[in-house]
Amino acid sequence: VAAPAKTSTAAVVAAARAILEADGPSGVTMQAVAAAVGIRGPSLYKRFPDRLAILSEIEFLVLAEIADILARAAATAASPRGRIEAMARAHRDYATANPQSYALIYSPGSVNDEAHLAARIAAIRPVLAAMTGLAGAERALTATRTVTAWLHGFVSIEQAGLFRLGGDIDATFDEGLATLLDGIAARGGA
Amino acid sequence: VAAPAKTSTAAVVAAARAILEADGPSGVTMQAVAAAVGIRGPSLYKRFPDRLAILSEIEFLVLAEIADILARAAATAASPRGRIEAMARAHRDYATANPQSYALIYSPGSVNDEAHLAARIAAIRPVLAAMTGLAGAERALTATRTVTAWLHGFVSIEQAGLFRLGGDIDATFDEGLATLLDGIAARGGA
DNA sequence: ACCTGAACACCGTTCAAGT
DNA sequence: ACCTGAACACCGTTCAAGT
């Protein structure tokens, strides 16, 4: 006669993600997550080996969301450059709407195994495809890395509150992106 | 009759910084830092209000080091572009040599008060100066932010071990930097 | 003045016991 | 099968007591 399950793996991950976004990583304690799904801390170990495993599942969730919003953004424009611009804005908007989730997947403690790598590659695929159209197949990977680095750095600095010398940050974003894409296009197209 | 001090504020910060670089942020416990300077955990509260205050002092140390290496790098080249390139390489080299310290000053938990802001501005000053030479006074701030965002994003992704689709990362860095500076120069110079 | 042991609240995690 | 209370080791932090 088995005891009935009070919750599920998916419900635990969803609850943990909500706590992360509301209270930051230090708020994601085993007790808090357990309480959010109506059980006690130790019971979580029936479903996850440890706390890191829960954060790891949140990373999958977030990477899938980013893959989705980037693919949708790419579909809103026809030209390679227009697609990259749309994805860059979507990336920044996602980070603004989900700052803690975004910070998690780039944090030093983020999980870096094969499964997460595959999820990251899947998320970047539409950027790589558009960049192939803009810069050619041979230069697509390097150009994608350049745009991705700038994008992550910009969002990361913005969210840390470190743009503090004034100026219009939205305009800085647009101009930085244009500068980058001009430079990439100037180096020889497809 | 006062009890003789076994250590000093500077010694505590230096010890904490060494532990941070060796064991990461979670290794910087009050007990570990205290033991490294020959005292017990609670004694640290005579010199620092809490653990965050010790990390805050490490941030000042690191920001001063970065200000120093950037200023030195700028002095090795004559042209504005040459100076920016030298500073970009020095920035990346510093992060490679001091990954935990570098991660600390861009971590979500980094202290963002007026004193730290001043230290950050001081560190970036030579970049802003060189950028004024390359892009003109009016466009210097935006261009500096674009380069800084790319630089931080690149280093951050590199250290997280997230460049995993092959290719020469050193060459990617050089090409990304050249692309950016070409784009900035093309938008209208000084 | 500075240092210490003891104590407190709070973590993650383990485990024997319950249903 | 899943859940629970009790326990353990380990944190940051406080404080009264030592010199």
Could you tell me the two tokens for A30? Answer: 């085993």
Separation between Cα atoms, residue A15 and residue A38, nearest integer Å: 11
pLDDT for the residue numbered A1 = 62
Tokens matching residue B136: 């003109």
Mark yes or no for CB contact B149/A148 under 8 Å.
no
pLDDT tens series, chain B, 190 aa: 677 899 999 999 999 999 999 999 999 999 999 999 999 999 999 999 999 999 999 999 999 999 999 999 999 999 999 999 999 999 999 999 999 999 999 999 899 999 999 999 999 999 999 999 999 999 999 999 999 999 999 999 999 999 999 999 999 999 999 999 999 999 875 5
- How long is the CA B98 to C1' C8 vector, in angstroms? 37
pLDDT in tens, A84-129: 999 999 999 999 999 999 999 999 989 999 999 999 999 999 999 9
How much is the pLDDT for A87? 98
Q: Give the chain B residue whose CA is nearest to the CA of A125.
A: B165
At a 7 A CB cut-off, the residues bordering strand D are A 2-7, 34, 39-40, 42-43, 46-47; B 1, 3, 28-32, 41-42, 45, 50-52
CB atoms inside a 10 Å sphere around CB A91: 23
Residue closest to sugar C1' of C3 by CA: B43
The Cα B155–Cα A39 span in angstroms is: 41
Q: b/e map of B94-128 (b: 16 or more CB within 10 Å)?
A: bbeebbbbbbbbbbeebbeeeebeebbeebbebbb
Return d(Cα A20, Cα B114) in angstroms, integer.
28
CA distance B1 to A158: 52
Taking a C-beta distance cutoff of 8 angstroms, is the pair B186, A183 a contact? Answer: yes
Q: Please, are residues B110 and B169 in contact by the beta-carbon 8 Å criterion?
A: no
**What confidence score (pLDDT) does residue A2 get?**
73
pLDDT at A4: 87
Q: What is the DSSP letter of A30?
A: H
User: Rounded distance, CA A4 to CA A37, Å?
Assistant: 14
Whether residue A189 has pLDDT greater than 80: no
CB distance A155 to A92 below 8 Å: yes
- Say what the pLDDT of residue A187 is: 86
Report yes or no: B96 and B17 within 8 Å, Cβ to Cβ: no
Interface test with chain B among A107, A150, A169, by most B beta carbons within 10 Å: A150
Percent of chain A whose pLDDT exceeds 70: 98
For B46 and C5, how far is CA from C1' in angstroms? 16
Helix, strand, coil percent content, chain A, rounded in steps of 5: 75, 0, 25
A139 HSE (CA, 13 A, CB side): 19
Judge contact between B131 and A179, C-beta under 8 A.
no
Residues sharing a CB contact under 8 Å with residue A113, sequence separation 6 or more, in sequence order: none
Amino acid B77 CA to nucleotide C14 C1' distance, rounded Å = 60
Distance, Å, B172 CA → C3 C1' = 54
pLDDT of B3 reads: 72
Those residues whose beta carbons lie under 7 A from strand C are A 1, 3, 28-32, 41-42, 45, 50-52; B 2-7, 34, 39-40, 42-43, 46-47
Question: Are A156 and B106 within 8 A, CB to CB?
Answer: yes
Burial A39-75 (b: 16+ CB within 10 A, else e): beeebbeebbeeeeebbbbbbebbbeebbebbbebbe
Measure CA A133 to chain center.
24
Q: Which residue of A has its CA nearest to B172?
A: A142
d(CA A92, CA A173) in angstroms, rounded, equals 9
Residue B176 to residue A120, Cβ atoms within 8 A:
no
Note the pLDDT of residue A68.
98
**pLDDT confidence of residue B2:** 73
What's the rounded Cα separation, in Å, for the pair A97 and A21?
10
Report the length, in residues, of chain A: 190
Of B112, B148, B183, the CB nearest to A182: B183
Interface contact flag, B186 A186, Cβ < 8 Å = yes
End-to-end CA distance of chain A: 65
Q: Which nucleotide is nearest to A39 (CA to C1')?
A: D3
